[in-house]
Amino acid sequence: MSQRFVPEAAQICEKTLKKFVSEVSSIEKLVVITGAGISTESVPGIPDYRSKDVGLYARISHKPIFHQDYMTSNRCRQRYWTRNFLAWPRFGQAAPNVNHYLLSKWEVSDRFHWLITQNVDGLHSKQSYQEKLDQANPGFKEKYVAPGELAPDGDMQLPLGTEKGFKIPECPCCGGLMKTAVTFFGDNVPWSKVEYCYEKVDEADGILALGTSLAVLSGFRFVHHANMHKKPIFIVNIGPTRADHMVTMKVDYKISDVLKKM
């Protein structure tokens, strides 16, 4: 198990952990939302964005390319594709970790209603989730970009100028822009997918958010929706989240330490 990108967690209080596990286990129909923190224990390590000291934002000054920049700047597109090309050999080798494995075991339970992930690493799908998975980000697939659509970002830091000369992929039919089928920062998840996930939250009796600060709308909107409908909200995340004021209960523990008890 990789620990390189796992932030320092709070010391476990067995009484608190037991109470948390008991309350989550009492939910009859549970929707689980996962963020980058679910994958930081994978090998090779996959960093999240916002964790103190070990997240991408803490370790490097470079920020992800945004939708508008990608659509309007050829230089940004070159940098984006170069970073993804160079980072893919390592990123593509990442394997599901104990968290993905344990959640896949929940799939057979009537109490596990649905999984919504913000991640693009595909590790949930590799482990299973044949029927109970929706992605707030569809994953790394090439897609033609009509004006107004968009893509994601690689996590490799490049010296300025490295991307010069990199040939950007083009649509083989019309020569138009190509992108990976991932929701970029500054872009929107397709509304049909959002509505479907809202329906799953409406059908559920509670939400468990794992490894996400809920800083972006793609995950936060569903927790907020659950809160508006008075559904219990549970969070496992090392560090503050956007929904801390809404929670029924939250623990700042390593995710695997919690899931192993459930």
For the chain, percent of residues with pLDDT exceeding 70: 69
pLDDT at 94: 72
> What residues pair up with 180 in beta bridges, in sequence order?
142
For 185, other C-beta atoms within 10 Å of its C-beta total 17
Counted domains in the chain: 1
Q: Is residue 2 part of a domain?
A: no
Residue 137 · residue 118 · CB < 8 Å = yes
The number of residues in the chain equals: 262
200 class by beta-carbon count within 10 Å (0-12 exposed, 13-18 middle, 19+ buried): middle
Look at the block and give the residue holding tokens 């409908």.
Answer: 229
Residue numbers of the domain that contains 85: 14-259
Q: Is residue 191 part of a domain?
A: yes
Q: Is residue 7 part of a domain?
A: no
Q: Is residue 9 part of a domain?
A: no
Q: What is the band of 171 on the pLDDT scale with cuts at 50, 70, 90?
A: confident
Q: Is residue 4 part of a domain?
A: no
Q: Is residue 93 part of a domain?
A: yes
Q: Is residue 214 part of a domain?
A: yes
Q: What is the band of 150 on the pLDDT scale with cuts at 50, 70, 90?
A: very low
Enter the pTM of the model: 0.75
* Segment among 68-72, 116-120, 127-131, 218-222 with least mean pLDDT: 127-131
Q: Is residue 158 part of a domain?
A: yes
Give pLDDT tens digits for 41-86: 776 666 545 555 544 554 555 567 788 888 888 888 888 888 777 7
Domain with 35 in it: what CATH number? Answer: 3.40.50.1220
DSSP characters over 192-240: HHHHHHHHHHHH-SEEEEES----SHHHHHHHHHHHHTT--EEEE-SS-
Comparing C-alpha atoms, which of 107, 7, 92 is closest to residue 57?
Answer: 7
Q: What is the band of 142 on the pLDDT scale with cuts at 50, 70, 90?
A: very low
pLDDT at 157: 52
pLDDT at 247: 98
Give Cα separations from 211 to 1, 191, 228, 240 (angstroms).
Answer: 16, 24, 22, 11
Residue 159 vs residue 216, higher pLDDT = 216
How far apart are alpha carbons 44 and 137 in whole angstroms?
21
User: Which parts of 52-187 are beta strand (E)?
Assistant: 112-117, 133-135, 142-144, 178-180
Cβ-count burial 83-108 (b if 16+ within 10 Å, e if not): bbebbeeebeebebbebbebbbebee
241 class by beta-carbon count within 10 Å (0-12 exposed, 13-18 middle, 19+ buried): buried
| Range with top average pLDDT, 9-13, 152-156, 247-251 | 247-251
Q: Can you say how many angstroms the Cα of residue 184 is from the centroid of all Cα atoms in its chain?
A: 12
